[in-house]
Amino acid sequence: MIALLLIASLGFLGTGSAHAWTERALEAADPFVFTPNDLRLKDFTIEALVPWRWVEGSFEWVRIERRFLVPRARIRVQLPPGTPVSYRGRHFESRESELELPVVLSQESGNELRIGGASPSVIRPRFKPQAPLKQPIILDASCSSTPLRIQAPSLSRSWGHVICRPTHPNQETGYGLRMDVDLLWESENPSEPVRIGSSLSESVDGITHSLSFSGNTPVYDLAKGSESMTLAAPLPDRFRPLSVSLGLGPYSHMEVLRPFATVYAAYLFNDALKMALFSAFPVRKSPEVDTGVYVIVEQFRGIDERVTLNLLLGAHALSFRSNGEYLHRMSAPQGVEMSFRDCLLRTQNLTLGGFFYPKIEGRSYVNTWIRYGNAKFFTEFNFINWQEPVSTGSFSVKSAGLSIGFPLFRAL
């Protein structure tokens, strides 16, 4: 179902591959998915000439290929013993008067169970809502960091799921910016065509559609019978991979409350790799300056594709004044960072991380943080504690405080 979004967005896949995605929805075991909307089993029915009923509590969402969300459930049908049943390449046979079967809750073409041999009866799942959904459009977590906005005031008999894929094509003037959007749109009447503006949308399976946003095409109006929605993504013509942000706040620094500044810079190579620089220092004469340069490499993505674990590999430099002498020291504490997208609120992310260097020959370093927000605005609690050997023994600094962060500019 939703997995067929890939087929709609990648034209080189033929229609013969469509059923493979639904089969994977049947194969997915022990799914862990955050419930994306108020869709329930009662919003679906089955077209069948045989007695049937839903298995209570069997409705669930599964994520396919680490990306696509698919709802599924189980039904029980009453059949004469020995009746053959086939569904998505799977074959069943009733041994008793009732047979329990898995069903992917999709109205894509070909999603049907066949009962019997030479002239089989057909069972099809159908979307038939009992009441308008509170959240008819599901915005995937992949859209959290994008400017995509959806207006859907008239969706009362349909639901949809949107997935975003920002891309940065290389151009003569730098990097461009394009965002491909895959939309699954299920309605009570699946035979109604979808119109994008004044044109009919081409869809392999009849329920999934692909759009491409750029600076030249920031808005799409879609209609399906009496249902309609508007998708808008005002994108700049050029993507600038270097971003610089500033954080300001009160810190307890060496047991004195002082204003404290943190500067963050990041150069994006792709979603799983970027270069980062940070600098932290108290706003005062002769500040202790902590500056690091790191490569951030994604190691894990899971828990419904919302949690990522990154390694931070690099080195940092400390600059400080001790006994009238300004000193510069280098070391290489390594770090780890975990982020949780759409935490509590959509577009808001929770990040926990730290750099660590155990005490060796009088040198140690700890820098931990908890950050909540997004690229436009965030709050961060930071704790920094380091020690360096000097001629008179050791020099140590401890800082802890809360800062407010915001972007300064983008470049390159």
Q: 267 is written with which tokens?
A: 């150069």
Q: 271 is written with which tokens?
A: 């979603």
- The continuous run of DSSP H or E covering 220 comes out as strand 219-224
For residues 235 and 390, is the Cβ–Cβ distance under 8 A?
no
Mean pLDDT of 163-176: 83
Count Cα neighbours of 125 within 13 Å in the Cβ-side half-sphere.
27
For residues 353 and 312, is the Cβ–Cβ distance under 8 A?
yes
High-pLDDT (> 90) share of the chain, %: 54
The structure's pTM equals 0.83
Residue-wise pLDDT for 77-97, tens only, equals 999 888 899 988 888 888 889
**Average pLDDT, rounded, for the chain:** 88
Nearest 5°: phi and psi at 141?
-60, -20
Quick one: DSSP state of residue 15? G
Give the integer Cα–Cα distance in Å for 258 and 387: 20
Give the integer Cα–Cα distance in Å for 335 and 366: 10
Q: How confident is the model at residue 223 (pLDDT cuts 50, 70, 90)?
A: very high
| CA distances for 180 relative to 6, 240, 321, angstroms | 11, 18, 52
Q: How confident is the model at residue 6 (pLDDT cuts 50, 70, 90)?
A: very low
AA letter at 294: Y
Higher-confidence residue of 295 and 110: namely 295
